[in-house]
Structure 1
Amino acid sequence: MTDVAGWQPGSVRDAAGGLAALTLATFVALTTELVPVGLLPQISADLDVTESVTGLLVTVYAFMVAALAIPLTVGTRRLPRKGLLLVTLSAYTLSNALVAIAPSFTLVAAGRALGGIAHALFFSLSIGYGARLVLPQVTGRALALVTGGATAGMVLGVPLSTTLGAAVGWRNAFLVLAAVCAVSTVLVAVLLPAVSSDDAPPADQTRTVRRQRLGAVTATNALTYLAHYTVYTYVSVMLLATGLRESAVGPVLLSLGVLGLVGTAFAAASLDRQPRRGTLGVHAVMLLGMLALGAAFPSRLGVLVAAAAWCGAFGAMASIFQTAALRTRGASPDIIGALVNTTANIGIGGGAAVGAVVLVGPGLGALPYVGAALAAGSLATVLVARRSFPALTR
């Protein structure tokens, strides 16, 4: 079964309503995934587990996505896209509600696993959905707008839930997020047009080459996210170690998220014009920011300045990799979405796990240098894979 849809791809303006709905859905999805980052110290203390173990709530979620994104996308490829999106948003609502009322760490992890299952399908759908709403020549701008919802999850969702958690407790913060997810489900049902799921990559002699280019993009995506989340999963712990008050962590994360939106805006401006130059630039800034973070720690001012550069650059990454992957035309939009989703979450979950190992080994001060080493590998891959990250759109 496929969607019965009369929607025809057009300009970004033509698709504004649908893109706005996707942006909202992406906001609640990303906030659900990352909300433990800002609440990690509170969850750890309340459930009587270490911070490194609590960080694995991000890992559990992300690895569910990594394991299930492709099988679920393939298995549901003939089902209506819009209906599936609504199912995933409903599952986010239930996941956050379960976490809020769970009496033990085990049940909290189970609630997070449910969210991970929803996430496995959501981002695979949303990336392909965004591409189907517009013409190919404006894919970069359209996906940057949708990705703006993910960045807003960092800018508003995570910091506000952190601030709310400090004021009324982490469980109430999850309850509020469940309510926002429910509202988002209703708005998406009203605003998002249905689209067809009947599309496939070109069947010609270049298919193997296109798949190789797609492989390079998705592998680099995983490495970039691994670098970022090795450090970012524990950024609240690092900020507290500089002497920052717990009540100030939320506002600081909010400021870092605003800078991430600047990175997203840069991606929107460059992806349809000079994609390679922009990709190299933001990777270089991310690397230098992480190196500066390690050198400055535990100086509060130095950490804040370095984190601003690193997080600002990372704000462009989701748009960059989604657009680059779609432009390889190495698979259908949904499968490409699943691959981008899977590899990003391998990086997110792997980063949380790598960071946990570093915390119990070399210690907090080593985190930025480990992240920088991984970021250097990502930058090197972009430099070498010129056809996967071309200078001009194709």
Structure 2
Amino acid sequence: MISASGTGDLTGRTHRGALAVLAASAFVYVTAETLPVGLLPQISQGLSVSEAQVGLLLTTYAALAAITTIPLTALTMRIPRHQLMAVLVAVFAVSQLAAGLSPNFQLLTVSRLFCALAHGVFWSAIAPVAARLAPPGRSGRATSLVFLGNSLALVLGVPLGTALGQWAGWRVAFFALAVAGTLSTLALLTVLPHLPAVTPMDGAASDGATSNGAVVDTPTARIRAALAVIRSRQITAIAAVTTVLVVGQFAAYTYIAPLVRDSAGLSGVALSALLLGYGGAGLLGTVVVGRFVDQRPGPTLAICVAVVSAALLALSIGHGRLFTVLAVLAWGAAFTAIPVPLQSAVLRVAPRSQDAASAVYVVAFQIGIGGGALVGERIFSGGGLHALPALGAGLALAAVIIVAGARKVFPLSITPLRPAECSL
């Protein structure tokens, strides 16, 4: 097993500033990951490739992140967390600069893959770091504050990046992200307190122990210990909920534009406004969920997933502008908030292996994204547009059933060990 070798005194103002900087780092990562979607025509024309080829930037990015997350997370456990976060965001900044300077599609792809190598480690480390910055019993709240950066990326980052790229050129949009990444790196170096490295302990991972029980701290042993986390039934339950839910989500969300156009006649500015509303509702949902996730994790997650199921079912059978808008807003509010209770569950069930367990969660999410996009494309190509939200609703319902049956992983309530010493 692995553990953080100390957290230090992180109460007071320090942790709030650090959480804000982590949220800003999450903001730039999420913005960059999805920005090519909004700039498909500009990148395609600028590099003389098809839009389908540009679309592969997302697929290859997700695939490499999924493959490398667990081993790279294990290999970086000996790096102090405050230094690691700064390095990962610095890698992001360099990759965005390289993307903006790329003279051809091949080098643009390489720059994206360079960023993808840091992506999985970043998302595996950010929640455990946030938890270490929080008072006792408030790790879920801290995670929700950091994940506000994800929601803000959907509300502001992607629309602004798309608008900038359309107005000044796609390269300028990537340069802006490079600047934002550089500023985030400097802020992390300035604000994050000293956070010691994650170190092997207790000889719990048999692959990393000698015959007398001593832990052998080698890169191979760390990778084996990280992979051993997959065998945990509790982590398997979280990964199952994540994959099932995300497959349904991205099968439907990938085709949200034709869905709302067909159901409500929304396109152009109206569609953009609705997508902005989706992100805004997600921002609100994340704030609300953060208030309850530490005390009632199971019901919080179950309600969010049930709302996703109901909203997608409504989209599959209903028509009309008001009906569609309300369903999309409910969908956005619920799904955007779901990573908070899921990530909190990871931290809770694997207190001595948070980074490795988070890596498994990140991989499950990436598999869900890729699988959902693939399934969605097959169904959409076959003319089953309105079957997509129905599929998402069914898979969300299946996720609710898994949550209800895994009470040890998603308990009805948790009594804090002691009152929080400060307010987040």
TM-score (norm 2): 0.81
1:292 aligns with 2:314: yes
1:178 is matched with 178
Structure 1 contact 56–353 (Cα < 8 Å) conserved: no
Could you tell me which residue of structure 2 aligns to residue 196 of structure 1? 196
Distance 1:132 1:387, change over 3 A: same
Code of the residue aligned with 2:283 in structure 1: it is: L
Higher deviation after alignment, 299-308 or 280-289: 299-308
Where does residue 371 of structure 1 map in the other structure?
392
Q: How does 1:101-112 map to 2 (within 5 A)?
A: 101-112=101-112
Shift, 1:382, TM fit: 0.9
Q: Is contact 1:98-1:111 (8 Å) kept?
A: yes
Contact 1:151–1:257 under 8 Å retained in 2: yes
The 1-side partners of 2:388 and 2:49 are apart by 24
Is the deviation greater in 31-40 or in 342-351?
Answer: 31-40
Q: Aligned partners of 1:118, 1:270: CA distance in 2, in Å? A: 31
**Residue 227 of structure 1 pairs with residue 248 of structure 2:** yes
1:387 aligns with 2:408: yes
Q: Which residue does the alignment assign to 1:339?
A: 360
Matches within 5 A, 1:195-344: 195-198=195-198, 211-236=232-257, 238=259, 243-296=265-318, 299-329=320-350, 331-344=352-365
Q: 1:321 to 1:201 in 2, by over 3 A?
A: farther
Cα distance in 2 between the residues matched to 1:288 and 1:240: 20
Give the C-alpha shift of residue 78 in structure 1.
0.8
Would you say the 8 A contact 2:79–2:198 is kept in 1? Answer: no
Aligned positions of 1:91-102 closer than 5 A: 91-102=91-102
Determine the C-alpha separation between the residues in 1 that align with 2:397 and 2:254.
Answer: 19
SS of equivalent to 2:138: helix
The answer as to whether partners of 1:160 and 1:254 remain within 8 angstroms in 2 is no
Alpha-carbon offset, residue 149 of structure 1: 1.2
Does structure 2 retain, via aligned residues, the 8 Å contact 1:140–1:323? yes
Comparing 260-269 and 161-170, the one that deviates more: 161-170
Gaps in structure 2 of 5+ consecutive residues: 205-227, 416-424
Question: What's the CA shift for 1:247?
Answer: 4.7
Q: How many corresponding residue pairs?
A: 388
Q: CA deviation at 1:95?
A: 2.6
Structure-2 change in CA distance of 1:91 and 1:208 (3 Å):
closer
Question: Secondary structure in 1 aligned to 2:393?
Answer: helix
Flag the structure with larger Rg: 2
Show the counterpart of 2:76: 76
- 1:355 is aligned to 376
The superposition leaves residues 133-155 of structure 1 with CA deviations (integer Å, 9 ceiling, x where unpaired) of: 22441111111111111121112
Measure the CA separation in 1 of the matches of 2:333 and 2:388. 18
Distance 1:70 1:331, change over 3 A: farther
Alignment-derived partner of residue 153 in structure 1? 153
Shift of 1:30: 1.5
Partner secondary structure for residue 194 of structure 1: coil
SS at match of 2:291: helix
TM-score normalized by the length of structure 1: 0.87
Q: Would the alpha carbon gap of residues 314 and 128 (structure 1) be closer, same or farther in structure 2, given more than 3 Å must change?
A: same
Moved more, 147-156 or 67-76: 147-156
Distance apart, 1:294 and its partner CA: 2.3
Paired AA for residue 278 in structure 1: T
C-alpha contact 1:201 1:332 (8 A) present in aligned 2? no
**Aligned-residue CA RMSD in angstroms?**
3.1
Change (3 A) 1:44 1:342: same
Aligned residues of 1:93 and 1:182 also touching (Cα < 8 A): yes
Partner Cα distance (1:15, 1:313) in 2: 27
Deviations 1:33-82 (A, max 9, x none): 2223434465567655355x544432221221111111001111112222
User: For 1:390, what is the secondary structure of its paired residue?
Assistant: coil
The 5-angstrom pairing of residues 20-59 of structure 1 reads 20-40=20-40, 43=43, 48-50=49-51, 54-59=54-59
Q: Aligned to 2:232, what secondary structure does the other structure show?
A: helix
Q: Indicate the residue corresponding to 2:120 in structure 1.
A: 120
Q: Deviations over 1:92-151 (max 9, x none)?
A: 223333333445544433332222111011111212211222244111111111111112
Q: Which runs of 5 or more residues in structure 1 are unaligned?
A: none
Q: Matches of 1:234 and 1:209 in 2, distance apart?
A: 32
